[in-house]
Amino acid sequence: MSESKNNSGAAQAEALRFASQIQSTIISNTLTRARWEEHIAECLKFRFQAAMIPPVWVKRTAEVLHDTGIKVASFVDFPYGTMTSAGKAYEAGQLVEDGAEEIDLMPNVGFLLSGMEREYADDIGRVVKAAGKVPVKIMLELPLLNAQQRERAVALSIDAGVAYLKNVSGGAVGVATPEQIAFLRRLAPPHIRIKASGGIKTAQQVRDLVHAGADLVGTSNGAEIMAELQGGGSVATKPDSTQY
* Per annotation, catalytic residue among 77, 88, 98, 104: 104
Phi, psi for residue 170 in degrees, rounded to 5: -175, -175
Calpha distance 59→46 (Å, rounded):
21
Contact 196, 167 (CB under 8 A): yes
Start-to-end C-alpha separation, the chain: 39
Return the domain boundaries, the chain: 2-229
Our answer to whether residue 104 is catalytic in this structure is: yes
Q: Is the domain 2-229 a CATH 3.20.20.70 member?
A: yes
pLDDT digit of tens for each residue in the chain (244 aa)? 556 566 677 778 888 999 999 999 999 999 999 999 999 999 999 999 999 999 999 999 999 999 999 999 999 999 999 999 999 999 999 999 999 999 999 999 999 999 999 999 999 999 999 999 999 999 999 999 999 999 999 999 999 999 999 999 999 999 999 999 999 999 999 999 999 999 999 999 999 999 999 999 999 999 999 999 887 555 555 656 556 6
Neighbouring CB atoms inside 10 A of 30's CB total 7
* Per annotation, catalytic residue among 71, 88, 137, 195: 195
